[in-house]
């Protein structure tokens, strides 16, 4: 039985709204960053999002089945990143991201677009993150998370590391890159006249108790997804250029 994209989106939104009453603000919360820093991160994020939209349209013209895959990954990233773990000492929340997984399967530019859509829906409907800080969240979770995961996976596969390890490390580094970047953004925006580095180190250290195990968890989820597809649907991995045709028989 086929499930439409609309049903997937509505089901995802319903599940997250079900727990919205007890949700904490995640990502970087509304109002945390001063206007000039919020505007800067918007300016950095928008070219990536715009290119992601163009890339999606270009691929979809030659492959109509690509959009449903993007829709499914968007639902997965949305659900994964709706799991906030409060970090009061950092002024934000820790959570899995899912962008390592989406970057491996869809490429980093489409993964950035997927993350940007998930983030704006969460800000609008779940009070997770903020609209003013959307650009900063896209840069940390979308841009840095996607490229860290994608490049890690490609680098490890290029030296013949197996799918499970490559997927695990990609998910791990995507998650940790997100929170490294979040620490940079927070320290830059809220430091005032204080030195940058001491505040950056304090914020980064505040994330470690939650993000160290969550990074490992995200690595395991990413590895599990990639290995499952490799065993059950290697044709999809070939289609999405994760594998070459000759690698399927190896």
How many Å separate Cα 59 from the centre of its chain? Answer: 21
pLDDT at 89: 53
**Domain residue ranges in the chain:** 5-247
Only one residue has tokens 């997937």, namely 8
- Number of residues written out for the chain: 250
Burial of 144 (0-12, 13-18, 19+ CB in 10 A): buried
Closest CA to 121 of 33, 35, 26: 26
> Quick count: other Cβ atoms within 10 Å of Cβ 213?
12
pLDDT in tens, 137-158: 999 999 999 999 999 999 999 9
Each of the 250 residues of the chain gets a pLDDT tens digit; together they read 444 544 444 444 343 433 333 333 457 877 789 999 999 999 999 999 999 999 999 999 988 888 888 988 899 898 888 776 665 555 555 678 889 999 999 999 999 999 999 999 988 887 777 888 999 999 999 999 999 999 999 999 999 899 999 999 999 999 999 989 999 999 998 888 889 999 999 988 888 887 888 889 899 999 999 999 888 888 888 888 787 776 765 4
pLDDT at 23: 36
Q: Where on the phi/psi map is residue 91: left (φ > 0), alpha (ψ -120 to 50), or beta? A: left
pTM: 0.83
Task: Please state which CATH number belongs to domain 5-247.
Answer: 1.10.1760.20
> How far, in Å, CA of 203 to CA of 238, rounded?
41
Integer CA distances (angstroms), 36 to 175, 176, 189, 190, 200, in order = 26, 26, 9, 11, 19
């Amino acid at each position: 039985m086929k499930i439409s994209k609309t049903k997937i989106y509505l089901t995802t939104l319903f599940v997250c709204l079900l727990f919205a009453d007890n949700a904490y603000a995640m990502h970087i919360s509304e109002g945390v960053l001063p206007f000039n820093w919020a505007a800067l991160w918007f300016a950095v994020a928008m070219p990536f999002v715009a290119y992601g939209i163009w890339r999606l349209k270009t691929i979809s013209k030659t492959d109509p089945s690509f959009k449903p895959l993007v829709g499914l990954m968007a639902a997965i990233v949305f659900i994964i990143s709706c799991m906030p773990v409060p970090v009061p000492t950092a002024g934000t929340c820790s959570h899995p991201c899912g962008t390592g997984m989406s970057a491996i399967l869809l490429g980093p530019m489409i993964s950035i677009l997927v993350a940007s859509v998930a983030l704006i829906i969460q800000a609008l409907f779940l009070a997770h993150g903020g609209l003013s800080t959307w650009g900063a969240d896209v840069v940390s979770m979308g841009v840095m998370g996607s490229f860290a995961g994608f490049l890690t996976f490609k680098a490890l596969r290029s030296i013949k590391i197996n799918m499970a390890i490559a997927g695990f490390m990609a998910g791990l580094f995507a998650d940790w890159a997100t929170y490294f970047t979040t620490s940079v953004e927070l320290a830059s925006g809220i430091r005032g006249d204080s030195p940058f580095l001491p505040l950056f180190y304090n914020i980064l250290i505040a994330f470690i108790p939650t993000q160290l195990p969550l990074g490992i968890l995200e690595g395991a989820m990413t590895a599990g997804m990639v290995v499952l597809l490799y065993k059950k649907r290697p044709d999809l991995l070939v289609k999405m250029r994760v594998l070459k045709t000759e690698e399927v028989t190896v």
